[in-house]
Amino acid sequence: MWLTQVHSHVEAHAQLFLVNAIYRAICSRGSKDMAKYQHRKEATPAISPAQLVVSCFHQLCRHIHESFSQASTPMNVANQFACCVTVCILGSTDAGVLPTLDALAGQERANTTTTNASMLYCIEMAVILVLQLVPEEIHNKRLLLRIDHRTSWESVVQTESVSVLAAVETCWRALHSHGLPKPLHDKMERAIFQAFATWVEHGRLPPAAVANSMLLSAVLEQSSQQLRNDS
């Protein structure tokens, strides 16, 4: 299976094309991959949704690690795998955002054989990237979800907003204690800020929770610093 293998011999643009094809295929299946929406005459996919999301999450972590290990390697393929993981979750389960990502991350950690600590941070980064995408992909017209299925995910986003904010803030606090190389640190920081902004926009966070968030303070401080540097 292509998703379970390493493809260092494949050109990056070719990998990106293949991953984009996988993304479009998952979107086109939409709610058909959700057990309760499957018609008895619906053809069973060759790869189960559960197997597909695990394989895509593994490739997401691997490509993040590759991008962090080689400064010249862009995040394009990793970002596209994050999209694949996101639409696969939305189309195949209703277990919720955080529980599903916790399970995927736990399985990836259990299967990680490397002693390189940065790989564990890459798993954390993978979770952050998917969290950033979930609220946006729910409204992606390419993702063929049933109306009630899409509505249920919209409710999940609103319900889990506070928990997601707490999880992202935990990642932010931990980031500064990791002592990561600057390129890895900066990429994780940007991803955390973007996830925070997405859930502020699409979630149902109490105004006080946003106003008192350490992430809002950090974003404002970084923006002020950037303005000072540019002036």
Sign of the dihedral through C-alpha 25, 36, 58, 77: positive
Q: What is the pLDDT of residues 129-148, one digit of tens each?
A: 999 999 999 999 999 999 99
Rounded distance between C-alpha atoms, residue 4 and residue 56, angstroms: 8
Domain boundaries, the chain: 2-230
Average pLDDT, rounded, for the chain? 87
Q: What are the residues whose beta carbons fall under 8 Å from the beta carbon of 56, sequence distance 6 or more?
A: 3, 22, 81, 84, 85, 88
In contact, 169 and 188? CB cutoff 8 Å: no
pLDDT of residue 178: 74
For 24-61, the pLDDT digits (tens) are: 999 998 898 888 877 655 666 667 788 899 999 999 99
Strand stretches in 32-187, DSSP E: none
Tell me, what DSSP letter sits at residue 94?
A: -
Burial class (CB in 10 A: 0-12, 13-18, 19+), 102: middle
**Residues in the chain with pLDDT < 50?**
1-2, 4
